[in-house]
Amino acid sequence: MMDSDTPLDLVVLGSGMAGLAAATQASSGGLRLAIVDKGRRIGGRVSTRRADGFTFNHGAQFLTARQDGFISACDKAVAAGALQPWQVAGRDAYCGAPTMRDFPSFLGSGLDIRQGVEITGIERHDGLVALHRADGGTVTAHQAVITAPAPQAMRLLADVAPGLSAAAASAAYAPCWTAMFGFDSDMVPDIMPPIQNRTGPVGWAMWECHRPGPAAITGGALTVQAAPDWSADNLEEDPALVAKAILAAWQVASGLSMDAPAYQAAHRWRYARVTNPADAGTSPLSADGRIAVAGDWLAGARVEDAYMSGLRAVTALADAAG
Ligand SMILES: Cc1cc2nc3c(=O)[nH]c(=O)nc-3n(C[C@H](O)[C@H](O)[C@H](O)COP(=O)(O)OP(=O)(O)OC[C@H]3O[C@@H](n4cnc5c(N)ncnc54)[C@H](O)[C@@H]3O)c2cc1C
C-alpha cells in the first residue's frame, strides 16, 4: 500500500505524540493517511522497555495536561484505562496505565502506523510530497507532517523546505542518560517517593512498582535519569560505565545498599528535553503549503507541547489546502 500508485492525502513522519495528534486530527476529517516511524514501537520518547522480565518507563516519566485539546485527549485515555492521574507533579499530572507507552498506543489505535520505516529524504515530485525510505521505497502524499526531533527535521527538510529547516536549526535540546536496573523484588522498599534533583547523576529515580493504579507494574525495576548537566558531561561515555556510575550515585542518594542488579542497562537520549524552542512566531508550514512541521521543539519541553503542535500542523495544512 505504501508504494501504491494512489498517493495518500497525508503522510505523517513520526509516531510520537506530535505525529499521533496530527494523524488523529486528520483522520477525524476523513483523510486517507499513514504514519511512518523508524522506531520499533509507537510513542517516540514516551516509551517503555521490557527486558529480562522487568518493565522500565525510560523516556517521559509523566505528563501534564493544561490546554483544552490535550485535556480532552487525556480524558478519553483515562476513561479507556490507558492513562491515570498521578499527583507526583501536581493535580493536572498523569502517567500511562500501566506503562507510559499505553497512552500513545491508545491514541494510535485504528490508525495506519508503519513502524520500522526510516525516511532518508524528502522531495517534491509532480505536485506531491515524496518520502524516500531507507529500504528504497517511496511514500507519496498530497501533504506531509514531519515530526522528527529538530536536528533530524533540519536535515530532512534542508532542500525541500529550507525555511522550516532553518526554524529547526534554531531549537536546542538537553540530553538525558537513563539507567535501568532490575533487582529482586523482595529488596524494594514499600514506600519511596521519586528522588528529584536538578543536577548530577540522579536527576530522577523511582521504583516502577511505585507508580499508581490497579494494574501497576510489578517487580524490582528501578529507573534513574541523570540530570541534564551530568548527561551532557558524559554524553559520549560507554553505556556500561554510565550505568555503573549512576547506580553508585543512586545508592548514596537513596541510602539503600542493594545486592548487584540482575539486569542493568543505560539508554542515551541525545535529544531528550527541549531547552530552547524554535523562534517564537515560527510558521509550521512550508511556502507551498504542502509540508508542515510539528514536535516539542516548536513549543516547549513537554508531551503536551508536542501534542498541541501536531494539532496546529494539521490545522495549518487544512487552511493552506482551502
Ligand atoms: C528521558 C526523557 C524524560 C522526559 N520526561 C518528560 C516528562 O516527565 N514530562 C513531559 O511532559 N515530557 C517529558 N519528556 C519530553 C517528551 O517525551 C517529549 O517532549 C515528547 O514525547 C516529544 O514528542 P514528539 O512527537 O515531538 O517527538 P518524538 O517522541 O521524538 O517522536 C518523533 C518520532 O519521529 C521518529 N523519526 C525521527 N526521524 C525519523 C526518520 N528519519 N524516519 C522515520 N521516523 C523518524 C522517531 O522514531 C520518533 O518516534 C521527556 C523526554 C525524555 C527523553
For residue range 57-110, list pLDDT tens digits in order: 999 999 999 999 999 999 999 999 999 999 887 889 999 999 999 999 999 999
Q: Which of 2-16, 29-43, 193-207, 275-289 has the lowest mean pLDDT?
A: 2-16
Q: How far is CA 142 from the centre of its chain?
A: 26
Topology of domain 173-275 in CATH is Polyamine Oxidase; Chain A, domain 2 (3.90.660)
- Dist CA 4 CA 141 (whole Å): 11
- pLDDT over 80 (residue 214): no
Banded model confidence at residue 168, pLDDT cuts 50, 70, 90: very high
Q: What is the pTM of this model?
A: 0.96
**Residue that has been written with the C-alpha cell 558531561 in this structure:** 233
pLDDT above 70: percentage of residues in the chain: 98
Rounded Cα distance, 73 and 58, in Å: 23
Q: What is the mean pLDDT of residues 302-321?
A: 96
Residue 247: pLDDT over 70: yes
**CATH 3.50.50.60 for domain 8-171+277-321:** yes
For the chain, what are the domain ranges?
A: 8-171+277-321, 173-275
DSSP state of 89: G
Distance CA 275, CA 259 (A): 37
Residue nearest to atom 53 of ligand 1 (CA): 272
- Number of Cβ within a 10 Å radius of residue 252: 11
What's the average model confidence in pLDDT over 239-247? 98
Measuring from each residue's beta carbon to the nearest atom of ligand 1, which residues come in under 6 Å? 13-19, 36-39, 44-46, 59-63, 118-119, 147-149, 152, 176, 178, 225, 269, 272-273, 295-296, 301-303, 306
Whether the predicted pLDDT of 233 surpasses 50: yes
When pLDDT is averaged across residues 19-23 and rounded to a whole number, the result is 98
